[in-house]
Amino acid sequence: MSTPLELAYPFTGHWLVQNSPANRVPSHGTHAFATSYAIDFVPVRANGRSAPVTLATLVRPEPAQRFPGFGRPVLAPIDAVVVATHDGEPDHEAYRGVPSIGYMLTQGRRAAAGWQGLAGNHVLLEVGGGWVVALCHLKRGSLQVAVGQAVRTGQVVAGCGNSGNSTEPHLHLQVIDRLDVAHAQPVPMTFGGVLPRNGEVVRA
């Protein structure tokens, strides 16, 4: 296993940690596309909750705009250079309850479309040693950086969205050892020297 890359949290406010390698590896149940150590961060309100659950939300999809973190700023977690971006994928509806079952059954179709079908709108940041930090599921039209641009830790790069393989607005973060995602190896990461377990992270 590679030496972990030390990152800053790529957000402010209240977020939930989900699918963390502190809980299991591979964190997303697969080693495909070097996601073994990937983490999902879900934006929530100050009370630690996402959009309210009602009977309607359990039986039909919901607009992504209904969720508190949709469009919330996503920050560069490290000083880096932008080496790839992708925009233009739609922010589709969110799926909880029964609708999430049908959505998960279509995951194979998105996986067959490759990295772009899974990541949706995304930004790839290259750091020293050729390691690449991927920020995925970004809001369409929210990218504020371009390929070749140097970014500093804490700089806004885009907004949180619901593009690609996503059931509700969140940020998928992973580190890989090269730009070619299909042939990359996963790189572990830590935040302040700690790998966060599932639970709430608050960053002022």
In the numeric block, the tokens 């709108």 are attached to 121
- Dihedral sign for Cα 72, 78, 82, 86, please: negative
The string of DSSP codes covering 51-74 is: SPP-HHHHHS-B-GGGSTTTT-EE
CATH superfamily of 5-203: Glucose Permease (Domain IIA) (2.70.70.10)
Instruction: Summarize pLDDT for 96-135 with one digit per residue, the tens.
Output: 766 566 666 566 666 667 788 889 999 999 998 899 999 9
Within a 10 A sphere around the Cβ of 23, how many other Cβ atoms? 15
pTM reported for the whole predicted model = 0.92
Instruction: Summarize pLDDT for 152-200 with one digit per residue, the tens.
Output: 999 999 999 999 989 899 999 999 999 999 899 999 999 988 889 888 8
Domain-by-domain residue ranges, the chain?
5-203
Within a 10 A sphere around the Cβ of 161, how many other Cβ atoms? 31
